[in-house]
Structure 1
Amino acid sequence: MSTTEVLSLDADGLRLRGDDEVVLDTLFDGRRIWSFHLLRDSVASRGVRRVEWPTSMRRFLEGTAEVAVVEHLSGAELYRRPTTFNGSHAPIAFVDDEGRPLGVDKSGRMEHTFDTRSEDQVAPLLDSIQQVLGALAEAGVEAFPAYGTLLGAVREQHLIGHDSDADLGYVSRHDHPYDVVRESFALQRRLAEQGYAITRYSGGAFKVDVVEADGAVRGLDVFGGFLTGGRLYLMGEVGHPFREEWIFPLGSCTLEGRTLPAPAQPERMLEAMYGPGWKVPDPAYHFETPYPTVRRLNGWFRGTRTFRDEWERRFSRVREKPPKGAPSDLARYVVESEGVPAQVVDVGCGRGGDALWFAEQGASVTAYDFVPRASTAVQRRAQQAGLPLEVRRLNLLEWRSVLGEGARLAHQPGPRTLLARHVADETTRFGRESLWRFASMALREGGSLYVEGGAQAGEELVTAGAVIVSSDLAGTGRVVARWQS
């Protein structure tokens, strides 16, 4: 019999009593929405444990539903009753704007988890897994399902219900990070030539976007790794003692009735990924990567993604809704200073409010951001209205991105106006140097760079930018700096 007791449940979270670590599922009207660890995820006070709802769930908690709390492994039901949140009696529905069911995934985000999808809906993802594995094999890389996808194939022969994406991995035959990075970019180019939309995570990993049957977009992650010093380092989370014969020659596994390649000893790979308890289902599992592994993977591969996770989290809840309110003071200042420019480049556009406003005023706008999907709603609105607004990815921490996009703008005729609002003071020193370099290329035929930031960073940024600006923009463009108090 369970020793865990649910005392109460409201819009803020749950109050429980118990001393054993168990995984608990929360069900709304019979469907699992979120799972958590009792001890790990609670705050204890006077014998009562308080667990807060994930941030991603809170916007849905307005209405009425039958809520149940169930032990994941035993199935013991600890709580079930109709519950009203925030005084509303409308039915609660965890769905997206298109009415498709959502659940909280392992990262705490609301996603289309596999337990909400039909066989027909996930068929395009399974097709893409096979196609991408084939393309990687043709490129000379022996790839296989990894992480949750491999776990589901080995443990259940199915996609894991509480998972929301698919993972592939490969172990390079190279033994130096430099060569592993070069190989990863070559693989990305090969897949892009075949028409796949790709987003790069780091020097050793990227994501392939797959559109499911009902239009939902699913990420297919491709993680690179290599062997060195008797250890396997695989992008994501792995830095573990390993032997080459545990990987090669590849064997096979079965996923949703399809035969796919797998490491020679997949159990060894799963233990490296999840620890010795990998056979026990845990929908609330969190990776706890040892710091030495994080440090090595960061140094080798992740220098180009500093702050990305923070920006992804910041925009995760608002990217589907267009920004409200007037344009920024900087945007208005530009128009007051020089009228509506013919060409506007908004660097670090965020949700895209200024970019949309300039396009509505008649400017041709190119908007850049580290996380382009933050402006999804603005992109959709601009497309529907036929406005001249293009959103592109720019990573100021990656020379490949800075020089490539800078050259693209440099070859387009005419002067332009660049805005960089709260970019220079939100990036690293290398990012600021990249911003000046990007501006110098974009303004080859004249124009202005408007930079705005916090007052505490103003003196440093003006000093840091002065040398590059004076040499690279002399005679071609001008810089207007505004620092807020």
Structure 2
Amino acid sequence: MALLFGEMGLLRPIGGKFSASFGAENIREILDQCRTIAEGLSGYGREIFANSGTLLGLVREGTLLAHDNDIDLGILLQAGDAAGAAREWIALTDRMIADGVAVQRSSWSQVTLKLHKIGGFGVDLFPAWCGADDRLWIYPHTAGNLTKAQLLPLKSDPMTGLALPRDAEAVLVSNYGKDWRTPDEGWSFDWPASRERFADFLACIAAPGGPAEAAG
């Protein structure tokens, strides 16, 4: 067990499969490729930033989390409400897939955009938007409880060159709770609560006729 999870850097099995983690990898090379991906995404005219586990690693550890196994990025949409964000997200992700930049939206969440892998590691893109009241939404963890000013202007991480939210600590509290600075191997994301908070957005994504039908 120590060999598998320590020296070999494998994560504990999910669905009966072991997966590699960043612990046994060349982190600098992965981060360089991640920055290249982020720079390419900026060509779509929207702000790109480190999100979720990637943001946690960069802020708390100064690098990727050793036990993590994917890259998380956020993209700030131009829409000002859930229905508009859903329409924009569907159109934007379809365009990215057609351009060959991305592979598909997650078959599980129907939201997360799967970009091309870095080595064997997944790269996930999550939508964010600001309402008319400047409340900030970052799927799947921040649901109007932060403000636009806590995201923008983005700041550059000096070690990696990736963009971070202006108040990265507030975003981490929103995602992981006030104890985010303390590593917690037993932590798990509360997906049922997230689905409730993002119910309007998810309904628009899942509407049979698309976001426009749900909004109308």
| TM-score, scaled relative to structure 2 | 0.79
Q: Match of 2:5, as an amino acid? A: R
SS at match of 2:129: strand
**CA apart distance, 1:290:** 6.8
Match of 2:84 in 1: 179
Kept in 2: contact 1:199–1:208 (CA 8 A): yes
Equivalent-residue separation in structure 1 for 2:135 and 2:13 (angstroms): 30
Equivalent-residue separation in structure 2 for 1:177 and 1:242 (angstroms): 16
**Is residue 2:150 matched to residue 1:239?**
no
SS at match of 1:158: coil
Kept in 2: contact 1:184–1:205 (CA 8 A): no
Match of 1:266 in 2: 168
Match of 2:5 in 1: 32
Q: Against the structure 1 CA distance between its residues 170 and 253, is the aligned structure 2 distance closer, same or farther, given a 3 Å change threshold?
A: same
Match of 1:279 in 2: 181
- CA deviation digits over 1:194-252, x for unaligned, max 9? 5334120356431113141xxx3x21111002233564322123325112111111112
- CA deviation digits over 1:421-446, x for unaligned, max 9? xxxxxxxxxxxxxxxxxxxxxxxxxx
SS at match of 1:276: coil
**CA apart distance, 1:153:** 0.6
Q: Against the structure 1 CA distance between its residues 192 and 269, is the aligned structure 2 distance closer, same or farther, given a 3 Å change threshold?
A: same
Equivalent-residue separation in structure 2 for 1:104 and 1:244 (angstroms): 37
Q: Point out where structure 2 has 5 or more consecutive residues left out of the alignment.
A: 211-216
Match of 1:151 in 2: 56
Kept in 2: contact 1:240–1:272 (CA 8 A): no
Equivalent-residue separation in structure 1 for 2:150 and 2:16 (angstroms): 33
Q: Which has the larger radius of gyration?
A: 1
- CA deviation digits over 1:121-163, x for unaligned, max 9? x72x434422332233221211101001001111111110111
Q: Identity percentage over the alignment?
A: 26
Q: Against the structure 1 CA distance between its residues 240 and 170, is the aligned structure 2 distance closer, same or farther, given a 3 Å change threshold?
A: same
Q: Against the structure 1 CA distance between its residues 297 and 196, is the aligned structure 2 distance closer, same or farther, given a 3 Å change threshold?
A: same
State the structure with bigger RCO (CA 8 A, min sep 6), 1 or 2: 2
Kept in 2: contact 1:113–1:162 (CA 8 A): yes
SS at match of 1:258: coil
Equivalent-residue separation in structure 2 for 1:176 and 1:304 (angstroms): 13
Alignment of 1:395-474 (within 5 A): none
Q: Point out where structure 1 has 5 or more consecutive residues left out of the alignment.
A: 1-27, 34-93, 95-99, 306-396, 401-485
Match of 1:312 in 2: none
Give the RMSD, CA atoms, in angstroms: 3.2
Equivalent-residue separation in structure 1 for 2:143 and 2:101 (angstroms): 29
Match of 2:23 in 1: 115
Kept in 2: contact 1:105–1:162 (CA 8 A): no
Equivalent-residue separation in structure 1 for 2:57 and 2:17 (angstroms): 20
Match of 1:168 in 2: 73
Match of 1:131 in 2: 36
Match of 1:324 in 2: none
Equivalent-residue separation in structure 2 for 1:262 and 1:246 (angstroms): 11
**CA apart distance, 1:282:** 1.7
Kept in 2: contact 1:152–1:159 (CA 8 A): yes
Which of these residues, 11, 18, 34, is aligned with residue 103 of structure 1?
11
Kept in 2: contact 1:135–1:191 (CA 8 A): no
Equivalent-residue separation in structure 1 for 2:98 and 2:33 (angstroms): 15
Q: Match of 2:21, as an amino acid? A: T
Which of these residues, 219, 222, 225, is aligned with residue 122 of structure 2?
219
Match of 1:7 in 2: none
Q: Match of 1:32, as an amino acid? A: F
Match of 2:201 in 1: 300
Q: Match of 2:173, as an amino acid? A: E
Equivalent-residue separation in structure 1 for 2:62 and 2:171 (angstroms): 16
Kept in 1: contact 2:135–2:148 (CA 8 A): no
SS at match of 1:32: helix
Kept in 1: contact 2:153–2:165 (CA 8 A): yes
SS at match of 2:161: strand
Equivalent-residue separation in structure 1 for 2:102 and 2:44 (angstroms): 18
SS at match of 2:67: coil
Kept in 1: contact 2:77–2:89 (CA 8 A): no
Q: Match of 1:283, as an amino acid? A: E
- Considering fraction of residues, name the structure with more strand: 1
**Is residue 2:113 matched to residue 1:206?**
yes
Q: Against the structure 1 CA distance between its residues 160 and 259, is the aligned structure 2 distance closer, same or farther, given a 3 Å change threshold?
A: same
